[in-house]
Amino acid sequence: MPPSFTTDPELDLLLERLVDVPTELIWKAWTDPEHVKAWFTPRPWKTTACEIDLRPGGRFFTVMRDPDGNEFPSAGCYLEVDPPSRLVWTTALLPGYRPLPADEDPDLPFTAELTFEPIGDSTRYSVRAIHGSRAAAETHEEMGFLDGWGTALDQLVEHLSSQAG
């Protein structure tokens, strides 16, 4: 399925990889809270809570805990849900497409577009982080977007492999 957004190399960050996991399992790993908690945050951080209301306008919520015990909640709103190939959510809106109150702007608002394309028994896994400014994209890149999301993907594959065994 083609993206519904126009890619802007100045504003968007992209991670693409072919993984040896069927698309349906990738979908399940992204849409079942218990699965998300197992792999979503690069170790040694942990995802301690996850809530998913899997529908456009629904909530995607996680709490990440750093090694010192500090917790970082993150709430988003699903924009598109197209099983098993596409998820789009944003941190710039609350569930029900409600704009964030001015005093609750996230540190780094972005929209995540995830696509999962079957290639035989494997999946072309793509994540695009869409930003509103070059400064936001640069900040996300400097925070380690590629390493962090790449490590999370490695953990997702490892988690699903352990489920099969």
Write out pLDDT tens, residues 5-37. Answer: 678 889 999 999 999 999 999 999 999 999 999
| Integer-rounded Cα radius of gyration of the chain | 15
How many residues are present in the chain? Answer: 165
Q: Angle between the 23-31 and 145-164 helix axes, to the nearest 10 degrees? A: 110
Compute the distance between CA of residue 108 and CA of residue 92 in angstroms, rounded to an integer: 9
Whole-prediction pTM: 0.91
Q: What is the CATH number of domain 13-164?
A: 3.30.530.20
- Do residues 18 and 125 lie in contact, with contact meaning Cβ atoms separated by under 8 Å? yes
The per-residue pLDDT string of the chain (165 residues; one tens digit each, 9 = 90 and over) reads: 445 667 888 999 999 999 999 999 999 999 999 999 999 999 999 999 999 999 999 999 999 999 999 999 989 999 999 999 999 999 999 999 998 887 766 678 899 999 999 999 999 999 999 999 999 999 999 999 999 999 999 999 999 988 865
What pLDDT is stored for residue 157 in this prediction?
Answer: 95
